[in-house]
Amino acid sequence: MSKVPYAGEKSPYNYETFDSGSELNYAQVLDNDDKVLAWTKKHNIVIKYRNSKGEISRYHPDFLVQRKNQLPPELVEIKGAHLRHDPNTELKARAAQDWCKQRGMKYILLVV
């Protein structure tokens, strides 16, 4: 999928772009969820992690989501089922969980 712009109703930006159809679908779900106040992919959060080769890499989670009655926001990653058992998927998830825990945030990995 080439990057397609989408003018999300609950995004603070004029439009957002997506790496996959699954991400676009999730953005539409967020827009239609009454419990979601705002979401974005343009959050500039970068989490360092050690990849499966032992090298330091940078991970950019897919979504930052603010829900009603929930502070702080949560990070959400959308992964295709074909990547579920990729060792880097688990390494990124662990790094993100630690990063979120230090900030009182929640991390969600959605396999689609």
What one-character-per-residue DSSP string does the chain give?
----EE--TT-SSS-EE-SSHHHHHHHHHHHT-TTEEEEES-----EEEE-TTS-EEEE--SEEEEETT-SS-EEEEEE-GGGTT-HHHHHHHHHHHHHHHHTT-EEEEEE-
Question: With a threshold of 0.75, does the pTM exceed it?
Answer: yes
User: Residue 16's pLDDT is what?
Assistant: 96
User: Residue 4's pLDDT is what?
Assistant: 80
Q: Cis bond leading into 5, ω under 30°? A: no
User: Residue 32's pLDDT is what?
Assistant: 98
User: Residue 3's pLDDT is what?
Assistant: 83
CATH of range 5-111; options 3.40.1350.10, 3.30.70.330, 3.90.1300.10, 1.10.10.60: 3.40.1350.10
Phi, psi angles (nearest 5°) of residue 98: -65, -45
Between CA 13 and CA 87 the distance in angstroms is 33
User: Residue 1's pLDDT is what?
Assistant: 61
Q: Quick one: how far is CA 104 from the chain centroid?
A: 16
User: Residue 105's pLDDT is what?
Assistant: 97
pLDDT tens-digit profile, the chain (112 residues):
678 899 999 999 999 999 889 999 999 999 999 999 999 999 999 999 999 999 999 999 999 999 999 899 999 999 999 988 999 999 999 999 999 999 999 999 999 9
